[in-house]
Homo-oligomer: A and B are copies of this chain.
Amino acid sequence: MGERKKFALEQFNRDNIIQAAKELFETKGIEKTTMDDIAKLADYSKSTIYVYFKSKEDIYNSIVKDYLEILIGELEICISQSKDFEESYYGLCDCLVRFEEKYPQYYASLMGEENMTNSRKKGHIPESSSGYELEHMIRRLLEKGMSHEDIRTDLELKPTILYMWSAISGIIQVAERQREDLDTRLNMNKEEYLRFSFKTFYESLVRR
């Protein structure tokens, strides 16, 4: 009987909790947000929170998963609309940069740069490997829309795609980290530096 309804209700409650947590994580930061905070804002008792999520990390991972889907959605649209490799490439770069700027916290998690509690704890492998999923997704997207005609003939497609992804994510990461210094050192803002790097990299990949 109440199977579907029950499920819907459960989702409803989980969503409320996640919504509250999201807000708090963004304003107070993850570490400073307590389970009591979340309970209060979501207007549930703490016990109830623990009915729907088994831990704070569980909540965090759910949020990350949400953002993963958002990002993947954006990437899919952006790539599917592209006419050729060049458009896909720049679209992808742009998409990632915008996402990183909008949700730096979650971007880092999605990239596998970090977990909630930097759990490099010996032997503790994060259950939600959403971090890795993203890279698989990207590779799938690129493999689909890309052919041997698009890149230099001396490069093998599959390793090149991963290589390309490495470079792009490295560029974005460093650009963000060095944002302050770009101006001083290079007389460039982040925008310009990114354009320069993406372009230089693109041209190095394409057959000339």
Show the binding face of A for B, using Cβ within 8 Å: 27-32, 104-105, 108, 112-122, 124, 131-132, 135-136, 139, 155, 158-160, 162-163, 165-171, 173-175, 177-178, 181-182, 185-186, 188, 193, 196-197, 200-201, 204-205
CB-defined contacts of A124 to chain B, threshold 8 Å: 29
B122 touches A29 (CB 8 A): yes
B186 touches A162 (CB 8 A): yes
SS class of chain A's interface: helix, strand, loop or mixed? helix
Kindly state the separation between the CA atoms of A198 and B162 in the bound complex, as whole angstroms: 12
A120 touches B135 (CB 8 A): no
Known contacts A113-B114, A177-B112, A178-B132: A121-B32 contact under CB 8 Å: yes
The minimal Cβ–Cβ distance linking A52 to chain B, given in whole angstroms, is 24
CB-defined contacts of A170 to chain B, threshold 8 Å: 166-171, 173-174
B193 touches A159 (CB 8 A): yes
Known contacts A170-B167, A177-B131: A121-B31 contact under CB 8 Å: yes
